[in-house]
Amino acid sequence: MTMNLLEGRKLVVAVTGGVAAYKAAELVRLLGKAGAQVHVVLTRAGARFVTPVTFQALSGNPVWEDLWDARVPNNMAHIDLSRDADAIVIAPATADVIARLVHGLADDLLTTLCLARTCPLLVAPAMNRQMWEHPATRRNIGLLASDGALVLGPDAGDQACGETGMGRMLEPETLCEAVVRFLSPKPLAGRRIVMTAGPTFEAIDPVRGITNISSGKMGYALALACARAGAEVDLVSGPTGLAVPEGVRCTMVRSALQMRDAVNAVITGADVFIGVAAVADYRPDQAEEHKIKKTGDGLTLSLVPNPDILAEVAARPDAPFCVGFAAESRDLDQYATGKLRAKRLQMVVGNLVQDGLGTDDNRIVLYDADGRHPLPHASKALLADKIVEHLAGLLAAARPARSGA
């Protein structure tokens, strides 16, 4: 999670009476770590699972429980809490609370607050699988969504009752990311972006191959930043071991040929193509069916060039806005600007491999028709946000977003 993405935001987190209330403590911590000012509303049932002291310690703010709280001079906490809030997040949201919200009941601080709110409502359901699957709950969830609430989850998995199925509250990290994505500016709204990330692996035999050193961290951070900025993102990834970013569709591949096929399958109609992947330049002309045994003699491999996926996309008659990456060991300006011109790209992100290969931070330079734009050394997550900001500006000048966005 990038620090300070929620800087200046006020969030009301409402915790109701479910076992998943323990996860709400971590959610409050993560939202605060992301820069938000968090105010916790705790129902009477919620306080049976986690105490107000816990939430006060994690949020740094007093916890609200009583509709008639005398700390508010006008005794209208349900009004004052929501008026300057950016969102109300109910996590966990029990079946009972969801039903009361749908019917407009207002008999405690939480329901009165939600009825009087002027800000968005985000709801994270949590309940036993039979309760989740009950027709009344399904009907209530539909009505809640139609009233404008954003329903986050639930997920499937093991439950406190010992059963397994739908109804688990989303994990705190997932919920925090959903809140960040919801509240983030949307300069890429209406854009569809296809990206590649990670290395490719070109098999020599069943256990050996040719690859590039790439962690995939920059590509995955950029995919997440694009999704937060409102884009529809298709990521084609080589083997990385990283979790797929929230809100991103991902196709996993292994070789350069597989990556090209996967890109071609989704590129039509894309507004932007970003080639972050470290695609191996060559592959063996034939992979051996069985493991090559060591004999003590030399081994000669016959290599053939892999396709240049970025150049192929940029040469399409319906070519999208194309962004390339240039990871060099020297003469970065020369090679990056050469790539920009030779492949007729609109933007290149360049870096020296010694500045960030495989690490969590980097130092990059952006290249476009107006020249070079160096960025300070920073985390890859923060750099991804800066790349999106620059990309959005270039796109706004070159290609209006699709209507209806």
- DSSP for 340-373, please give it: HHHTT-SEEEEEEGGGTTTSSEE--EEEETTEEE
Q: In terms of CATH architecture, what is 192-398?
A: 3-Layer(aba) Sandwich (3.40)
CA 327 vs CA 241, 281, 307, 359, 364: distances in Å: 21, 13, 18, 14, 9
Active-site residue among 114, 119, 161, 250? 161
Give the pLDDT confidence score for residue 310 in this predicted structure.
96
* Contacts by residues 342-348 (CB-CB < 8 Å, ≥ 24 positions apart): 343/308, 343/310, 343/311, 343/314, 344/314, 344/315, 345/310, 345/314, 346/321, 346/322, 346/394, 346/398, 347/321, 347/322, 347/323, 347/390, 347/391, 347/394, 348/323, 348/324
Contact (CB, 8 A) for 290 and 221: no
Please state the φ and ψ torsions of residue 282, each to the nearest 5 degrees: -135, 160
Residues of each domain in the chain carrying CATH 3.40.50.1950: 10-183
Nearest to 218 by CA among 346, 350, 334: 350
Residues of each domain in the chain carrying CATH 3.40.50.10300: 192-398
* Tally of CA atoms within 13 A in the half-sphere of 339 that contains its CB: 22
Cis peptide before 92 (omega within 30 of 0): yes
Q: Domain 10-183 sits in which CATH superfamily? A: Flavin prenyltransferase-like (3.40.50.1950)
CA dist 353 and 356 (Å) reads 6
pLDDT tens by residue, the chain, 405 residues: 456 789 889 999 999 999 999 999 999 999 999 999 999 999 999 999 999 999 999 999 999 988 776 676 655 555 667 778 999 999 999 999 999 999 999 889 999 999 988 899 999 999 999 999 999 999 999 999 999 999 998 988 887 777 788 889 999 999 999 999 999 899 999 999 999 999 999 999 999 999 988 899 999 999 999 999 999 999 999 999 899 998 899 999 999 999 999 999 999 999 999 999 999 999 999 988 899 888 878 888 999 999 999 999 999 999 999 999 998 899 999 999 999 999 999 999 999 988 767 678 889 999 999 999 999 998 898 899 999 999 999 998 887 665 544
CA dist 130 and 128 (Å) reads 6
Residue 161 annotated to the active site: yes
